[in-house]
Amino acid sequence: MSIKQPRIYLCSQSPRRRELLKQIGVNFEMLMLRTDPRRNICVDETPLENELPVDYVQRVCRTKAEAGWNSLLYRNLPQFPVLAADTTVTINNQIIGKPNNNAHAAEILRSLSGRQHQVLTAVAIALNERIELRLSTTLVTFSKLSDERIHHYLLTHEAHDKAGAYGIQGHAGAFVERIEGSYTGVMGLPLFETVELLRLFDYPAL
């Protein structure tokens, strides 16, 4: 399907994903699942029993894209591609989710301190019956973090609602000793993979 008026829907509330799409000049509108009038439109992000992180992040991302497309149809919106993404942080194949509170965030940051962890970000685009997905894998090494540094970081409130309890684009960038992979993938939307997908759907991306 050729897009006459280039536009996509972003099925995410993340301000970082919005910023990254704007950075590469993508014309998008927000598609918020949580405001959908149907209660069953929400995506359950609970990991399945014995599910590997690489399988988990792709499953959740694909489900978000499907839910976004179904929401678009339900609302009778113009049919443009729906982009969804999901990010998870892992150590030793264990999923590290978003912190529940500051104590939990401190616990997560201590587990990342002085170690290498993996950031997996899946991005998918849905249009009609077609869904295409790409996966970005990045290795991030943190320096050794003292309790004092963790405490000061938590005072910035950046840890809230972020996988792994940190945002690399903020103050926590100072924690990163080494990164191997996609910086924008760690932010939550790998631009290389995103542009690949947009091109598959005839969006005139760079």
Residues labelled as active-site residues: 86
Buried b (16+ CB within 10 A) or exposed e, 18-38: bebbeeeebebeebebeebee
Concatenating the DSSP letter of every residue in 123-175 gives: EEEEETTEEEEEEEEEEEEEPP--HHHHHHHHTTTTTTT-GGG--TTTGGGGG
| Cα–Cα dist 198/168, whole Å | 25
CA dist 104 and 71 (Å) reads 33
Q: Is 86 helix (H, G, I), strand (E, B) or coil?
A: strand
Contacts of 198 (CB under 8 A, 6+ apart): 8, 26, 81, 125, 205
The answer to whether 66 touches 44, Cβ cutoff 8 Å, is no
Instruction: Give the tokens for residue 92.
Output: 């030793």
Q: Which two tokens stand for residue 152?
A: 């000061």
Nearest by Cα to 20 from 202, 197, 169 = 169
Q: From CA 136, how far away is CA 19, in angstroms rounded?
A: 18
